[in-house]
Amino acid sequence: MRVQKINKLLIFKNNYQNLQREYKFEIFGLVQYLNDKIFKTRGRVTHLNSIALRFDDKFATFKRRNARMKRYYL
């Protein structure tokens, strides 16, 4: 995945979580889908203060602060 695509996913996920906190609704499967796209893993993701992404081509690390993720199960 390229950096721009991951950035768009992160911004979309943060906007969605802000709406979820304000209006207290949840679209089932959306956060799990975004977690799979970002982390490429299946399982649970606990509260994270930073998101670290590894790219296969350059092995770079991308960190995003203040991105909180609740615990979701697939």
Residue 66 above 70 pLDDT? no
Give the DSSP H or E segment for 50: strand 50-54
pLDDT at 20: 62
pTM, 2 dp: 0.26
Rounded mean pLDDT, 1-9: 68
Q: How many CB atoms lie within 10 A of CB 9?
A: 17
- Predicted confidence (pLDDT) per residue in 18-59, tens digit: 766 655 545 555 666 666 666 655 444 443 433 444 333 333
pLDDT at 53: 40
pLDDT at 13: 73
